[in-house]
Structure 1
Amino acid sequence: MSEIDKRNRLGEEPFTYQTTKKGTVIISYEGKQIKIVKDAEAERLIAKIKEVEDNAIEVQLLLAKITRNFKRGNEKVGKNNRK
């Protein structure tokens, strides 16, 4: 078991990405857009993804690292999802 992904969350592949014609990378988590990467940072990300594209876990790890630590429990609850 990897020390980075102890709960095997990246194995479920929660992150997805799309590359636009302008070279922008749109990253989503469980279907919700969470980050847009542009310019030089997007070029570096695309290059890194192409290096490890045959390993899904490595791609997921790259996407998780670029989004940083976005889930900290303070996300706003949707109007229809309040308890």
Structure 2
Amino acid sequence: MKEIDKRNRLNEKPFSFQTSKNQTVFLFYRGKQVKILKGGEAEKFLARMNLAKDDHEIQLLLAKATGNFKRGNERSK
């Protein structure tokens, strides 16, 4: 997993998520909503989150779920 996060950006914990009553999952990057997961996609995501071993793995799952956050050119503000 060391090769995936070479610059240790996930240690800053930029990603977070919230789950609503109807199992809709809202994904956030630095406090801004970037994606919404519903239905089967949300269920699969929550199942993966329950299996995560540590905070770093949770951040990696969130980064992958949000999509286009691989290039390293994301703006800081």
Q: Which has the larger radius of gyration?
A: 1
**Runs (5+) with no aligned partner, structure 1:** 76-80
Percent of paired sites with the same residue? 54
Q: Secondary structure at the match of 1:49?
A: helix
Q: Which amino acid aligns with 2:64?
A: K
Runs of 4+ aligned structure 1 residues displaced above 3 Å come to 70-73
Q: Which structure has the highest helix share of the two?
A: 2
TM-score of the superposition, structure 2-length normalised? 0.86
TM-score of the superposition, structure 1-length normalised? 0.80
Q: Which residue matches 1:6?
A: 6
Q: How many residues align?
A: 75
Does 1:19 find its partner at 2:19?
yes
Q: Secondary structure at the match of 1:33?
A: strand
Counterpart Cα distance in 1 of 2:23 and 2:11: 27
**Runs (5+) with no aligned partner, structure 2:** none
Shift, 1:70, TM fit: 4.8
State the Cα deviation string for residues 47-80 of structure 1 (Å, max 9, x = none).
100111x40010100010011115876x8xxxxx
